[in-house]
Amino acid sequence: MHTRKVYIETYGCQMNLADTELLVGVLKPHGYEPTQVAAQADVILLNTCAIREHAEEKVLRRLGELVHHKARRPSVRLGLTGCMAQHHREKLLNKAPFLDLILGPDAYRTLPTLLVQEDRDEPLVAVRLDREETYADMSPVRGEGIRAWVTAMRGCDKFCTFCIVPYVRGRERSVPLNALLDQVRALAHQGYKEVVYLGQTVNAYRDGDYDFADLLRQTAEIDGIERIRFTSPHPSDMSERLIEAMATCAKVAPYLHLPLQTASNRVLERMERGYTVEQYAALVERLRAAIPGLALSTDIIVGFPGEEEADFRATYDFMAELRYDSAFMFKYSAREGTKAYKWDETLSEEEKGLRLQAIIALQERISGEINRQSVGQTVEVLIEGPAKRQEGWLAGKSRQFKTVVFPGNGARLGELVPARVVSATAHTLVGQVANKAIGYRDFLPLSL
Ligand code: 5AD
Ligand code: SF4
C-alpha cells in the first residue's frame, strides 16, 4: 500500500492530545504514517480547542500559515478537527473556506472515507454528536515514552454556565471497563509505566455497576503499571469510595487536580458548579486526612460576569489558606452558546488581568514555599528522559507529579529511582540520585 503522511498539530487539553493519537490510529490501517514535518504531509490537521477565545484565534492564524502547503501541492488535504470545528462550523466556512475538512470530536471514524472523496470547493463537514461514540474498539497510536493517556469517558453533562465543553463534546459516556483494562494490559506489555485516565469529568465514569473507584482498583492490579493518575475530576463526583481507592491503592499517585473555579458562593452558584466553597473545603479536608502527602492543583477563573471585589478576595484568601501545590488560572472568556454568554461582562480586560496577576503571584509564592519544604527529603522519580535545560541531566516526575531534574546517573527511561531533593523552585525540584556504579548511598556531586 502506498503510504501517505499525516501531520497533526494539537491545541488545548490532554483530551485533545489523546484524540490526536486516536486520529493517527484511525488513519493507520488506511496506509497513513504520522510525520512531524508539515511540508512532507499529504494530510494536515489542526486538532483544536474552543475553551477560550484566545485558543481559537491562535488556530485561525495558524491555518492562514498552513494553507500555503495546499498552494504548493494541491493534493494536500487541510482539515480542522476537535472542539473548535464543532463550535464554529458555520463561521469557519466563511473564514477558512480553503479547508477541506471540518470534523467534530464524534466524527473521527469518518476521516478515512472523507479523505478519499473528490476535491471540492466547499469543506466537507462532519459534526454530528453521537451519544454512543467512545471509540472503544479503536487503537490509538501513542507517542514514545512511559506515560500513556487513556480516555476513560467522553463528554460532559454538567453544563457549568461558562463552559462550551458540553456543547462541543456532547453528553457524558464511558468506555466499557473491560475495554479499558485490556488497553492498559497491552500498554503495560509495551513498556508503559504510567497510565493517566482522561475525561472531562473523569470521576463520573460508570460502566453498569462499576464506577471510577472500581476502574482504579482493577487497573492497580495490572503488572508493569507503576503509577496511575487521572484528570480532571469534578468535586461533586469525588465519592467516599473513590477517596478510599486512592488512599489504599499504592499505585494511584497522591496527586489530584480538583478544579475550584472560584471561592465565592455567589459566583459558584451563577456558574452552576453544584457545590459551595464549604463543601469543597470539607472535601479537601477528607482527602488530605485519607491520603498523606496529597498534592493538589486546581483551575481558577477570574472575572466571571458579576464577580465583585469581595468575590475575588474570597478566592484569593481561599487559595492562600488552602495552599494548592499549583494552579491553572484563567481570565473568563465569554463563549458563544453558553448560558453566561448572554450576561453582560462587568469587568474590563485590564481589571481581569490585574486579578489574574494577583493570584498568579500568590500561587508562585505558595508553590515555591511548598516545593522548598521538600528539600532534604527523598522522592521517588519515574524517569521520563533527558532534562530540557541541562545537558546530561535527566528529568522525571515524583509521585506527587512534581518535575524533578537531576544529573544523569546511568539510569534509564521508565526506571523508578530515589532522588534526594537539594533545591527547589515553584516549578521544579532539583535532585541528586545515587550513582548506579557506586551504590545508592553515594550521591553524585551536583554541578549546577
Ligand atoms: N473562560 C475561562 N476559562 C474557562 N475554563 C472553561 N471555560 C472557560 C471560559 N469560558 C477553564 C475552567 C476549566 C478549565 C479546563 O478551563 O477553569 O476547569
Ligand atoms: Fe466544562 Fe463544567 Fe463540564 Fe468541566 S464540568 S467540562 S467546566 S461544563
pLDDT tens track for 6-56: 999 999 999 999 999 999 999 999 999 999 999 999 999 999 999 999 888
> Is the CB–ligand 2 distance for residue 370 below 6 Å?
no
Distance, CA 163 to ligand 1 centroid (Å)?
6
What's the pLDDT band for 436 if we cut at 50, 70, 90? low
The pLDDT tens digits of the residues spanning 259-302 come to: 999 999 999 999 999 999 999 999 999 999 999 999 999 999 99
Is this structure's pTM higher than 0.85? yes
With 60 as the cut, is the pLDDT of residue 81 above it? yes
What's the pLDDT band for 220 if we cut at 50, 70, 90? very high
Q: How far is 144 from 444, CA to CA, in rounded Å?
A: 29
> Tell me, what amino acid is at 136?
A
Give the pLDDT of residue 446.
36
Is 133 within 8 Å of 154 (Cβ atoms)?
yes
Is 215 within 8 Å of 225 (Cβ atoms)?
no
Strands (E), 178-337: 194-198, 206-207, 210-211, 227-231, 255-257, 295-302, 326-331
Give the pLDDT of residue 143.
86
Could you tell me which residues come within 8 angstroms of residue 230 by beta carbon, excluding any fewer than 6 positions away?
A: 152, 196, 197, 198, 199, 202, 203, 212, 216
> Is the CB–ligand 2 distance for residue 160 below 6 Å?
yes
Give the pLDDT of residue 1.
57
What's the pLDDT band for 445 if we cut at 50, 70, 90? very low
> Is the CB–ligand 1 distance for residue 304 below 6 Å?
no
Cell of 273: 458548579
Distance, CA 34 to ligand 2 centroid (Å)?
31
What percent of the chain clears pLDDT 90, i.e. is strictly above it? 85
What's the pLDDT band for 444 if we cut at 50, 70, 90? very low
> Is the CB–ligand 2 distance for residue 169 below 6 Å?
no
What's the pLDDT band for 435 if we cut at 50, 70, 90? low
Q: How far is CA 101 from the centre of its chain?
A: 25
Strands (E), 371-413: 378-386, 393-397, 403-407
**Mean of all residue pLDDT scores within the chain:** 93
Is 313 within 8 Å of 266 (Cβ atoms)?
no
> Which 3 state secondary structure label does DSSP give 132?
coil
